[in-house]
Chains A and B, each alone.
Chain A
Amino acid sequence: MSLSKGYMLPKVEKVVLQEKIDLYARASGDCNPIHIDADFANQSQFGGRIAHGMMIAATLSEMVTMVFEKDWVDTGSLKIRFRAPVYPGESISTFGEVEKVTEMDQEKYAVMCSVGIRRDNGELVISGSAEVTVSKESRIFE
């Protein structure tokens, strides 16, 4: 692979399940009833339980990790907006594209990507950008 402007990051697809939302609540400690209490959520503006935004965003990070690996967790930054809720049973898929590769110094590049997640009907649920610092010797520039 040779990373440059226009490079499309690999798509990651998931089906969001209520059992996974419940697990995420336990793991993260975020037990907002909007995610796990059907009675509460049914009365809310969302009309039902929804996935944690950070749970959905984790799929974005997975996409970026596939390309940048440890550089992502060492140097990466993410700026995202949660644009629409994701309900259990829905399918989501990520998208990402390299927008800019900038030389930082003799050893490193800064790579900026537009990223996001859509549900099956194409509606945008998350949009934003990801940036990461990568060594010029990285295999992704071969």
Chain B
Amino acid sequence: MEYDKLTTGQLISDRVVSLDADRVALYVEAVDHEGFLLADDGGRLVPGMAVAAFALSGAINDLNIPGGTVHLSQEIKFQSAVEEGTRLDCKAFVSKNSVRNNWRILVVDIQAMTVEGTSIMEAKSTIMLPV
């Protein structure tokens, strides 16, 4: 990946992420989260940070981020709760690309929507890659 050629607004990831119960359960076990919020129909809601984590990792993998990349900051805006089993369309765009002191600072905007078009989450991730 030629990171110096990434331009503002460039689409770098476009994936469908499935919030499978098994994957969500693995996430919940990993973060030692107790209990689930329930939707009005009794379905289990996916923790917001799980949605963020799954959407972010898709972008990281498509960027082929090198080992040693550091996560500097994170902004997340939750827009709608979502139940297990939902499929999300997750897109990631380059927001900013700069070099400072032998490190590349990449800011990535992430959008997650249901495949039916309901906005679930927007996020902005700032990461630092070795140049």
| Also in contact, A65 and B47, with CB within 8 A (given A73-B81, A76-B78) | yes
* Distance, CA A24 to CA B74, complexed state (A): 18
- Listed stretches A50-58, A95-103, A109-117, A134-142; interface member: A50-58
Q: Return B65 CB to nearest CB of chain A, in Å.
A: 7
CB-contact partner of A54 in B52, B72, B77, B82, under 8 A: B52
Q: Return A130 CB to nearest CB of chain B, in Å.
A: 10
| Also in contact, A82 and B26, with CB within 8 A (given A32-B67, A70-B45) | no
| Also in contact, A73 and B78, with CB within 8 A (given A20-B32, A61-B49, A82-B73) | yes
Contacts of A26 in B (CB 8 A): 26, 30
State which size class the interface on A falls in. Answer: 35 or more
User: Is there an interface contact between A54 and B26, defined as CB atoms closer than 8 Å?
Assistant: no
CB-contact partner of B30 in A24, A45, A61, under 8 A: A24
| Also in contact, A73 and B48, with CB within 8 A (given A57-B74, A78-B76) | yes
* Distance, CA A29 to CA B51, complexed state (A): 12
CB-contact partner of A65 in B37, B58, B75, under 8 A: B37
* Distance, CA A51 to CA B50, complexed state (A): 16
Contacts of A69 in B (CB 8 A): 37
User: Is there an interface contact between A40 and B67, defined as CB atoms closer than 8 Å?
Assistant: yes
Q: Return A14 CB to nearest CB of chain B, in Å.
A: 6
Q: Return B126 CB to nearest CB of chain A, in Å.
A: 9
Question: Which residue in chain A gives the minimum CB-CB distance to B34?
Answer: A62
CB-contact partner of A62 in B33, B61, B81, under 8 A: B33
Main secondary structure of the interface of A (DSSP, over half): helix
Counting chain A CB atoms within 10 Å of each CB, the highest count among B61, B71, B73, B80 belongs to: B71
Q: Sample 22 A-B pairs with CB under 8 A, ordered by A number.
A: A14-B32, A24-B53, A29-B54, A29-B61, A30-B57, A32-B67, A34-B67, A34-B68, A40-B68, A44-B68, A52-B71, A53-B74, A54-B53, A54-B71, A70-B45, A70-B81, A72-B48, A75-B78, A76-B77, A80-B74, A82-B72, A82-B74
Given contacts A55-B31, A58-B49, A70-B45, list 16 more A-B pairs with CB under 8 A: A27-B23, A27-B27, A28-B53, A29-B54, A29-B58, A30-B56, A33-B68, A53-B74, A57-B49, A58-B53, A61-B47, A61-B49, A62-B33, A65-B37, A74-B79, A76-B48
Q: Which of A's residues lie within 8 Å of B, judged by CB? A: 14, 20-21, 23-24, 26-30, 32-34, 37, 40, 44-45, 52-55, 57-59, 61-62, 65, 69-70, 72-82
